[in-house]
A and B are shown apart, each in its own frame.
Chain A
Amino acid sequence: MYNEAVKIILRRFRDRSLESGLLIIALALGIGVFTAGLSLIMNTAAYSNEIMKSPVYKEIVVSTRGEADEMETPVSEKPARETAILTQADLDAAELAPNVAWAYVQNHNRLHLISPGLTDEAPPGMMMPTEDNTEEEQITNFRGFQQISDEDLAAAQRDSNIILSELDEISGYSVTPQFFNSWEIDSANGSLFSEADLTGTDNIIILGSDLAELLAGDKMPEADLLGKKLLSREGYQTIIGILDPVSDIFDKSFFSPYKDLTGGMSGFKNMFMNTQLRFAVDDSEQLYETASLLSSWFTNRFGENQIVISNPRAEAEQLIARNTGIGVLILFLSAAGFFIALVNVSNILMSRVLRMKKNVGILMALGSSKRGIMKLFLTEALMLAISGSIAGAVFAIPLSSYMREAAGITSGSWIYIAIGAVFAGVLTGLFGLIPSRQFMKIDPAQAMRSA
């Protein structure tokens, strides 16, 4: 309803651009901060709920002390390398903990692929560990890289059953079969491996869906990868399966059967690449009890302080509790800021009532009802609320994404910003109503007499 009376309000608003501008800025800041705070806490809750559904948070992770400490402890304080070495056999601990549904090994692994042009460089198998090499290089060098001669490579290039990839390196996991059960992963093509494959001498691998797509390229359908051999410095890897899509990380990975290392190399290797055992339960409630059962089993076997039993869920819950606490505090502070902005808006609108008093009298003389006056000033409050909400939302978007980043939330929804801005806008409208109620009390005859 755009008429001359509304024009008066709009033009007054424009003519007092400083006052109006400050009003909108105050509102936008209040609404923006409040909306960002609300969005943070909603996103924290949603994100926590979401990640807690991951199988990772239904697991107890068992590793050796050295590996668990590696990240946090300064080098000088690191204890002497432990003697405890975890092997697949230690998965037997599950027999003592009745709630364990799946027990498996999941170790990081890498394959160094050989691409057609590689023989120009020094044969990789010749590299020996030196003091300059990083730990990782030392590890890979000790993993039994195979030398590949030019003839071998030429032969491989001719063999349609062998895949030479342009990729330098692919990462993945050595796992025992229950890994697939625990994550409920199925193969889209080919098969998964079984217990029997753990002791076999053939190198077999299963590809995540993205990795399969990458290796197949445009050259062949993904299913044709099955049975082919991937040439790597670690030897030929026979592809036996391709997985359904699961999660970003797994989709880009390969999976090979975990094999306990035997012989002289194992001790050295295990210093750096120790085996991690994972014990999954069906119900996260059972994690604490399972952790303590496993703890006593491992203490029994290896002695005190050799093995670290960690409960990722407990750690995540602690982090979430902290984030939620901070989120509540931020929400409270931002709500306080917003409230102060609202009170100011209310005050400024109230002082407008006084300044508009005479005009109200004239408008009524010309035929406006009290309801008409009320509507008119509600229009003004609404205008403020809407422009404040929009400006506030614009302001909240970068603020909210910054806060989310700071809180470590990788996913999040903008819907909370929209909800927050609408809610804040409605509140602003309500506060705008307080002064417009004052208009109802104006007696036109009195108003006409006022200057």
Chain B
Amino acid sequence: MIKLEQIKKQYDLGGTKVTALKDVSIEINRGDYAAIMGPSGSGKSTLMHILGILDTATGGRYFLEDYDITALPDMEQARIRNKHFGFIFQSFNLFPELSAVENVMLPMSYAGVPYKARKEKAVQLLHEVGLEHRMTHLPTMLSGGEQQRVAIARSLSNDPDLILADEPTGNLPSDKGEEIMKILESLNRRGVTVVMVTHNPEQGRRAGYIIELRDGALIKGSPDPEVSRV
């Protein structure tokens, strides 16, 4: 589904160059449940941003379904992010001005879904993550776990092929984190490809596929032979 070839990312800080990624080549297949692991500053978020075409690499090539999308015009990038990717963040990143249901509706408006249809879909998705009684609540009225579940519902609104989750449980107590993990795992069982950044070795083990980075370099990038794939 996705193939990265020799991806490099360098930041130019007025003369001194910071290398965030060094020749990272990975492959992610449909149905994979991958965990990106590594110490802080090792380039995990940078890799996620490049995977999600929020950022462009300074070297290497990016293939999506065999199409080279290394350099796409802005409008195309936006369309792919909107229709094919779903993002989940450590700090939830809900819009505080919008209610839970409106937050879930937002990506569908970019896909051109009419108001009634996107409202219906959002309600249904919030049901699925167990928030049917929180539809009209503003994010500030929700607990962290609830906010992250709204964010998951939002990431699913356009039926994405790939969920990109950057430390989705990082800001949650372990029991709430476990709820999120369960949701992601059940999504994966339904066929959604999931790529998740995590510090938690237990969570890494549960993913069938570990991508480990150190100082921007890939040190482990194939399905872990010691862990059976889900």
**B interface, over-half SS:** helix
* Contact between chains at A371 and B81 (CB < 8 Å): no
Binds A, one of B23-31, B107-115, B129-137, B216-224: B107-115
* Residue from B74, B83, B95, B106 within 8 A of A370 (CB atoms): B74
Among listed B47-55, B58-66, B203-211, interface-contacting one: B47-55
Known: A365-B52, A366-B154. A15 touches B78 (CB 8 A): no
Report which of A4, A369, A371, A445 forms a contact with B102, defined as CB distance below 8 A. Answer: A4
Supposing A4-B105, A15-B97 touch, asked if A367 and B79 sit within 8 A by C-beta, the answer is yes
Q: Counting CB contacts under 8 A, is B33 at the interface? A: no
* A11 closest partner in B (C-beta): B97
B89 is contacted by which of A7, A11, A369, A448 (Cβ under 8 Å)?
A448
- Using a CB-CB cutoff of 8 Å, which residues 74-131 of chain B contact chain A? 74-75, 77-79, 81-83, 87, 89, 93, 95, 97-98, 102-103, 105-107, 109-111
Q: What residues of A have a CB within 8 angstroms of the CB of B154 in the complex?
A: 366
Contacts of A409 in B (CB 8 A): none
Report whether A3 and B78 are in contact in the complex, using a CB–CB cutoff of 8 Å: no
Please measure, in the bound complex, the distance between the C-alpha atom of A170 and the C-alpha atom of B74, giving whole angstroms: 81
Expressed in whole angstroms, the minimum distance between the Cβ of B88 and any Cβ of chain A is 10
**B77 proximity list for chain A (CB < 8 A):** 369
- CB-CB under 8 A from B103, the residues of chain A are 4
Query: Which residues of A in the span 419-451 have a Cβ within 8 Å of any Cβ on B?
Result: 443-445, 448-449
Q: Which of B55, B81, B95, B107 contacts A8 (CB 8 A)?
A: B95
Task: Tell me the nearest residue of chain B to A4, going by C-beta.
Answer: B106
Asked if A445 and B109 make an inter-chain contact with CB atoms under 8 angstroms apart, the answer reads no
Distance between Cα atoms of A402 and B56 in the complex (Å): 61
A5 within 8 A of B: yes
Beta-carbon contact of B97 and A5 below 8 Å: no
- Cα A114 to Cα B134 in complex, Å, equals 89
Q: What residue in chain A is nearest B11 (Cβ atoms)?
A: A446
Whether, in the assembled complex, B193 has its beta carbon less than 8 Å from a beta carbon of chain A, the answer is no
Q: Check: B148 CB closer than 8 A to any chain A CB.
A: no
Is B158 an interface residue when CB atoms closer than 8 A count as contact? yes
Judge if A12 is at the interface, Cβ distance under 8 Å. yes
Would you call B79 and A7 a contact (CB within 8 A)? no
The chain A residue sitting closest to B75, CB to CB, is A369
| Contact A368-B95, Cβ < 8 Å, known A3-B109, A5-B106 | no
- In the complex, whether A124 has a CB less than 8 A from a CB of chain B is no
Residue of B45, B55, B83 touching A367 (CB-CB under 8 A)? B83
Asked whether any CB of chain B lies closer than 8 Å to the CB of A153, the reply is: no
* A359 contacts chain B at the CB level, 8 A cutoff: yes
Of B54, B74, B93, the residue contacting A369 (CB under 8 A) is B74
- Are B81 and A365 in touch, CB under 8 angstroms? yes
Asked if A364 CB lies within 8 Å of chain B CBs, one says: yes
A314 to chain B, nearest CB (A): 66
Whether A97 is near chain B, meaning CB under 8 Å from some CB there, is: no
Q: Which residue of A lies closest to B110 (CB)?
A: A367
Does A361 touch B at the CB level, under 8 Å?
yes
> In the assembled complex, how far is the CB of residue B117 from the closest CB belonging to chain A, in whole angstroms?
13
Report the bound CA distance from A371 to B83 in whole Å: 17
Residue A348 at the chain B interface, CB threshold 8 Å: no
CB distance from A155 to the nearest CB of B (A): 89
Q: A362 on the interface (CB 8 Å rule)?
A: yes
Cα of A367 to Cα of B75 in the assembled complex, Å: 9
- B46 CB contacts on chain A under 8 angstroms: 445
The 8 closest A-B pairs by CB, nearest first: A367-B82, A445-B55, A369-B78, A3-B109, A367-B110, A11-B97, A4-B106, A445-B49
List 11 additional contacts besides A5-B109, A366-B87, A369-B78; criterion CB under 8 Å.
A5-B106, A11-B98, A358-B93, A362-B89, A365-B54, A366-B110, A369-B74, A371-B74, A444-B55, A445-B54, A449-B45
User: What are 18 A-to-B residue pairs whose CB atoms are below 8 Å?
Assistant: A3-B109, A7-B97, A7-B98, A358-B93, A359-B95, A362-B95, A364-B54, A364-B81, A365-B52, A366-B81, A367-B82, A369-B74, A369-B75, A369-B79, A445-B49, A445-B55, A448-B54, A448-B89
